[in-house]
Amino acid sequence: SSELTQDPAVSVALGQTVRITCQGDSIRDIYVNWYQQKPGQAPVLVIYDKINRPSGIPARFSGSSSGNTASLTITGAQAEDEADYYCNSREISGNEVLGGGTQLTVL
């Protein structure tokens, strides 16, 4: 089965730019989505299909992909962006797969 690898924790100074990455063999050929989860809340979709931002998600969130690595970039991180971020893709079987999550701290 495919796996998606994320750094467990990342920190960023308030107002600075941070990139959260997701590595996996399936990423090269298929979609990657990103979800934000704050403590005690359900996940929220922030990027779908590698680069698309749903309506209502601030423009400081962007997605990109190169080879087997997808990235979520927050340009000008805000205090409210402190959360866990999960990437999601799909195995050849059709099963969804989620990364282990990255805990983002805004300093």
Stretch that binds another protein, among 20-28, 61-69, 75-83, 93-101 (CB under 8 A): 93-101
Q: Does 95 bind another protein (CB under 8 A)?
A: yes
In the complex, least distance from residue 91 CB atom to another protein, rounded to whole angstroms: 8
Residue 11: phi and psi, rounded to 5, are -130, 155
Token pair belonging to 55? 């309506």
* 43 touches another protein by CB under 8 A: yes
Tell me how far, at minimum, the Cβ of 15 lies from another protein, in Å.
28
- Torsion, Cα 104 16 49 82, to 10 degrees, reads 30
Per CB under 8 A, which of residues 44..83 are in contact with another protein? Answer: 44-45, 48-49, 52, 54
Let me know if 85 is exposed, middle or buried by CB neighbors in 10 A (0-12, 13-18, 19+): buried
